[in-house]
Amino acid sequence: MDPSYLTGLLGGLMIGTAAAVLLLINGRIMGASGILGTVVDGSSKGADRREKLAFIAGLIGAPGLVALIFGANPTNLTPNIAVIIIAGLLVGIGTRIANGCTSGHGVCGISRLSLRGIVATMFYLLAGAITVVVFRHLLGVI
Amino acid sequence: MLISAAAGALFGLGLMVSGMTDTARVIGWLDIFGAWDPTLAFVLGGAILPMAGAWAMTRRLAQPALGEAFPPKPGVEIDRNLAAGSVLFGMGWGLAGLCPGPAMASLVWGGTGGLLFLLAMTAGMVATPPLRRLVALN
């Protein structure tokens, strides 16, 4: 078996355990877009805002520290600046309109058999697959 | 706050270990008509397992250990926002191979491109509430 399947499974278990800790101890759903989105648009205030900022600090700081000490696999992000900006805007606007992304709708939603989470995941997976077909295989942009 | 920071740290390390911060792997997962990479199915499956156990536990517990209440039951309404927003998100995810969690987690080693993506994504998030008000007015 490809060793990346094992590291994928291990990383997935870590992601799910993090979400379980946040749910069982703090009673919160671990959704990356909602946590960042409500902090930057100002709708999260007070203690809720401090909790979310602490989460973001851990999310950026822990892997960042590991990367500084041990190095990290490259992100292999496209060098095309226009693609980066358009993709970033689409991800930011789309996840806030849909009220969730891969962690909130995907991990937390599917695991409680939420219809909204399952439908959202089908839509973004399908849109992503079609986008790759068009921009990689037809247009050759990515 | 400590629990939030620890959960964020474990989430970030999990994203790093799983390969979610490698855009080539993510686009490979979405590339079902090309050289399809099934790794992300293991990531999603691995993440859903402990979380499904956690949701089952919430039915037996009165409240979270430190919080006031568990989240309410999810809605069942499939509306235009859920569909249209997810399509826009999927397009961006397919183009760059980054979703919100990995975009934050890889900030330190993601270079200027990663920073630019995070800034554009944040700008999109800030712009969404006024955009929604604008659309609702017309």
For residue A119, is it within any domain? Answer: yes
How many Å apart are CA B112 and CA B27, to the nearest integer? 20
Cβ contact, residue pair A74, B120, below 8 Å: no
Q: How far is CA A29 from CA A33, A85, B50, B82, in A?
A: 11, 28, 14, 17
Contact A34, A100 (CB under 8 A): yes
For range B42-64, the mean pLDDT = 96
For residue A63, is it within any domain? Answer: no
How many domains does chain A fold into? 1
Give, as one character, the DSSP assignment of residue B62. Answer: S
Single-letter amino acid code for the residue at A57 = A
For B34-45, how does the pLDDT look when each residue is reduced to its tens digit (9 = 90+)?
Answer: 889 999 999 999
For residue A64, is it within any domain? Answer: no
Q: How far is CA A124 from CA A14, A21, A97, B10, in A?
A: 23, 26, 13, 25
Interface of A with B in 79-138 (CB under 8 A): 79, 81, 83-99, 101-103, 105-112, 114-117, 119-121, 123-133, 135-137
Name chain A contacts of B80, Cβ cutoff 8 Å. none
pLDDT greater at residue B136 or residue B117: B117
Q: What does the pLDDT read at residue A142?
A: 85
Q: How far is CA B132 from CA A95, B81, B82, in A?
A: 13, 10, 13
Confidence class for position B138, pLDDT limits 50, 70, 90: low
For range B67-95, the mean pLDDT = 94
**Given its phi and psi angles, is residue B79 left (phi above 0), alpha (psi -120 to 50 degrees) or beta?**
beta
How many Å apart are CA B20 and CA A75, to the nearest integer? 9
For residue A117, is it within any domain? Answer: yes
Find, in chain A, the residue whose alpha carbon is nearest to that of B15: A11
Q: How far is CA B11 from CA A57, B2, B21, B39, in A?
A: 11, 14, 12, 18
For residue A116, is it within any domain? Answer: yes
How many Å apart are CA A78 and CA B123, to the nearest integer? 20
Q: What does the pLDDT read at residue A1?
A: 74
* Longest CA span, chain B: 48
Domain that holds residue B17: 2-137
Count interface pairs A-B at CB distance under 8 A.
479
Name chain B contacts of A65, Cβ cutoff 8 Å. 108
For residue A91, is it within any domain? Answer: yes
Q: What interface predicted TM-score (ipTM) does this complex get?
A: 0.96
How many domains does chain B fold into? 1
For residue A17, is it within any domain? Answer: no
Using CB atoms, which residue from B34, B55, B100 is nearest to A137?
B34
pLDDT one digit per residue (tens) for chain A, 142 residues:
788 999 999 999 999 999 999 999 999 999 999 999 999 999 999 999 999 999 999 999 999 999 999 999 999 999 999 999 999 999 999 999 999 999 999 999 999 999 999 999 999 999 999 999 999 999 988 8
Confidence class for position B121, pLDDT limits 50, 70, 90: very high
Q: Which two tokens stand for residue B102?
A: 């990995």
Q: Is the pLDDT of residue B6 over 80?
A: yes
Q: What does the pLDDT read at residue B137?
A: 61
Domain that holds residue A132: 77-142
Find, in chain A, the residue whose alpha carbon is nearest to that of B122: A92
